[in-house]
Structure 1
Amino acid sequence: MDKYMPRIMDELLKRELESFGAVLLTGPKWCGKTTTAKQIAKSVLKMDSPDEQENYLQLADIKPSLLLEGEHPRLIDEWQMAPQLWDAIRHDVDEKSTEGLYILTGSTTVDETKIRHSGAGRISRLKMYTMSLYESEDSNGSVSLYDLMDNSLNVAAKSDLTIEDYAYLIVRGGWPSTIGKSDTVVQRQIAGYCDAIVKSDISAVDGVSRDERKVSSLLRSYARHTATQAPKTTIQKDVSMNNETMHINTLDSYLNALNRLFVIDDVPAWSPWLRSKTTIRTADTRHFTDPAIAAYFLQAYPQTLLGDMNTFGLLFESLVVRDLRIYAKAHYGHISHYRDNNGLEADIIIHFPDGRWAAAEVKLGSKQVDAGARNLLALKEKIDASRTPEPSLLMIVTGTQYAYTRSDGVVVVPLGCLKP
């Protein structure tokens, strides 16, 4: 990819640098963190430079302030290689008492025990993802999620994407390097990314050697349970069926490593105030940071997805989760999900800082829209409006072509129409 494709993170990063002395930008490998940070940085230090890495690490131990010298904002890439830089940066921010000094980027979370101070009030934390369909220019952006929160009465738009397009987009993923490339190049790049997770990254993240076969079995199991609330015990049994025994503590260790690598990113459960005594399920919904990872470990290609609508539907939900995370984050929002013991559920709950929220169901085809609308309306009635505000939006995100508002007020929007 020759040109820089604008990211939603561009504006977020700019805003945070105007408010804080430093910004920590994390996220999965290859998602574009460094490239995005370079658009605003005035100087760059790459800690993983093959020629200078050893010198940089020694300086970080002896006099870290020397590594901070340079025009601001100064980008320090892969800073977690020298965690002591965190405290040096926090100290420098205190000394200079100004905003917009540093951008830190990294593809793994750092061991917090190696940091003396949290950086609260001085260092902001942002999480970046692979490209949403709007960022990769696959969504036409004719419907704004945030605008829907204010007015969802007269929605009318059309997506250019077909069901075949969605199958391809799931498998392609949202890494900037895969956009506009041939199918062969895309397949090789994603295979390289996933193979690195199995063979090196998961052990390198915390220095703990892990069995490649068990990692592969675990990732295949996670892929099979994408968009479900499968408990850890189910995943443990699933791994064991592949002749790979795994103790629950070992499973926790592997999952923690995958979280630190930003490979998996589950959606937490929401517990609102309800009118009646209903038991809310608190299990997270299983997701990878990008559905292409699940597709790879399922050995799913566009044609195989078109022949297996159940798997297609689950991976489509994961695609929607990825994009709605990004669109919500553009307005400092976040997502969760709802499910209770009566089987009532909403795939995605979108929360904004002002207290407003939206409930969304994901339906690949039009035949499922009515059922999704019934779910959302039932959830609305179940909420105790005296303690939790009514939803500002009830939405069904689809793989169909047309966006419209139903007579019951539920909005139907193709994913290929959405933007922040």
Structure 2
Amino acid sequence: MNRKNMTESDPTTPTPYQARLADQDLKAALQRAGGVLITGPKACGKTETARQIAQSTLQADIDPELAKQLEILPEQALKGATPRLIDEWQIHPILWDLARHEIDRRREPGQFILTGSTAPGAGAAKHSGAGRFARLTMGTMTFLETGHSDGTASLFELVKLPAGEKIEPRPSKLEVGDIASRLAFGGWPGNLGLTAKQAAANNRDYLETIAAVDIRVPDSTYRDPQRVKRLLSALARGVGTEITTTTLARDTELSRDTVREYLDSLERIFAMQNQAAWRPHLRSRVPLRETPKRHLADPSLAVAALHADADVLLRDLEFFGQLFESQVVHDLQFMSRQEIYHGRGADGLEVDAVLEIAGRTVLVEVKLGSSDTTIETAATHLKKFNERYVAGADNPPVLLVVTAGKLSYTRDDGVHVVTCGNLGA
């Protein structure tokens, strides 16, 4: 996968479709289910990915005749070559039940693709769609998808390695400055081919739209844009951390109830998500904390919210490290197609990410640095966490340190060290 140019642009040349990890997932889902629901933040590429396979399209958010049609001849909205894409279906929630009934009638897979950037309110769809719809979540592009990672250190291959077996050392061409630029630029498909300045302007516009328009969409409730922007800035400062509603309320001068309500709305438009705390399968005398970590839909939104850029990140390595961890968690989620957890004991022992692949637990520490001391500290945390919470499981866990360094390899103690420039699906 070729890395995209982020310094030059030709506005007269359309950017071609960039292959996504979701492409094959969508094809597979259409082979097993009557419909596929694709959710994710606006502008993450849901519609373009669906269009690569859809044979007809209904755009529910801009079709001026659709409301009348659904009132008089609702079944006509579903007519068209299949798979039929119904974009932003939640604008007219009846489309969900119409599609469900039509899937039951046709009794064939691959009939509809429904995309949505807003989770519908309670009762919007009268039936869950179980047995009719497969579900696919998309996010912004990973380092692998934008070509910043060569993918030579496959996450799934690491899981398949027998305990004690090492990966072949491999270098990465990605520089720390490249990583800072990519975090500021973001993984938005619409930014591909733009300059860094243009991408930054788009990211700031995205935040303005969230604050002024999108956050009201889930329940048609007015929310003060200035308050929303204060909350987004507070989330940006605490990105990738266990920042609490109490802290957010103090930082924004909002009530805790208001913060909770705003956070819920941001989650429903997929602008932010919580990285839940992991719970071990085995009983442990040492309790794990249950506070989630907060992430925005893309680390570039945190950069935009704080009016920062790549140069600022290089001067503020602590914040750079937070963003880097958030990006790695984001990429692990969409490369593994699994929910990513974090683990922290009451005594402070922690790992940055926990996931399950093919019956094996993967424990991950994320480090911007890659010095021997930094890697040793990360490896020690992984081994201690494993001994306390995971040891005794049927399959030994994979212990992984993801860095911004220049080399991927396996240590003598079995801990894998993989750079973000090599990390692949």
Fold match by TM threshold 0.5: yes
Pairwise CA RMSD:
1.4
Deviation of 1:99 (Å): 0.6
Deviation of 1:189 (Å): 1.2
Q: Is structure 2 residue 34 aligned with structure 1 residue 21?
A: yes
Match of 1:379 among 363, 379, 385: 385
Q: Is structure 2 residue 285 aligned with structure 1 residue 285?
A: no
Q: Deviations over 1:121-174 (max 9, x none)?
A: 111111100000111111111111100101251231111111101111110110
Aligned pairs for 1:335-346 (under 5 A) are 335-346=340-351
Match of 1:223 among 227, 231, 236: 236
Q: Is structure 2 residue 415 aligned with structure 1 residue 410?
A: yes
- Conserved 8 A contact 1:267-1:336: yes
Aligned pairs for 1:19-418 (under 5 A) are 19-49=32-62, 53-151=63-161, 153-240=166-253, 246-274=254-282, 276-329=284-337, 333-352=338-357, 354-367=358-371, 368-383=374-389, 385-386=391-392, 388-418=393-423
- The two structures have a TM-score, normalised by structure 2, of 0.93
Q: Counterparts of 2:271 and 2:390 in 1: how far apart (Å)?
A: 36
Deviation of 1:63 (Å): 2.9
- Conserved 8 A contact 1:155-1:411: no
Deviation of 1:276 (Å): 4.2
Q: Counterparts of 2:258 and 2:378 in 1: how far apart (Å)?
A: 38
User: For structure 1, which segment, 106-115 or 337-346, has the greater mean C-alpha deviation from structure 2 after superposition?
Assistant: 106-115
Distance change (3 Å), C-alpha of 1:103 and 1:235:
same
Report SS of the residue matched to 2:295: coil
Deviation of 1:384 (Å): 5.1
- Conserved 8 A contact 1:380-1:390: no
Give 2:9's aligned residue. none
Deviation of 1:206 (Å): 2.0
Code of the aligned partner of 2:146: S
- Conserved 8 A contact 2:121-2:218: no
Q: Counterparts of 1:137 and 1:216 in 2: how far apart (Å)?
A: 32
Q: Counterparts of 1:140 and 1:37 in 2: how far apart (Å)?
A: 25
Q: Counterparts of 1:357 and 1:81 in 2: how far apart (Å)?
A: 39
| Structure 1 residues without counterparts, runs of 5 or longer | 241-245
- Conserved 8 A contact 2:88-2:116: yes
Q: Counterparts of 1:286 and 1:293 in 2: how far apart (Å)?
A: 13
Distance change (3 Å), C-alpha of 1:312 and 1:38:
same
Give 2:424's aligned residue. 419
| Structure 2 residues without counterparts, runs of 5 or longer | 1-13
Deviation of 1:355 (Å): 2.2
Report how many residues are paired.
407
Distance change (3 Å), C-alpha of 1:385 and 1:369:
closer
Deviation of 1:275 (Å): 6.4
Q: Percent identity?
A: 39
Deviation of 1:334 (Å): 2.3
Q: Counterparts of 2:229 and 2:41 in 1: how far apart (Å)?
A: 18
- The two structures have a TM-score, normalised by structure 1, of 0.94
- Conserved 8 A contact 1:129-1:326: yes
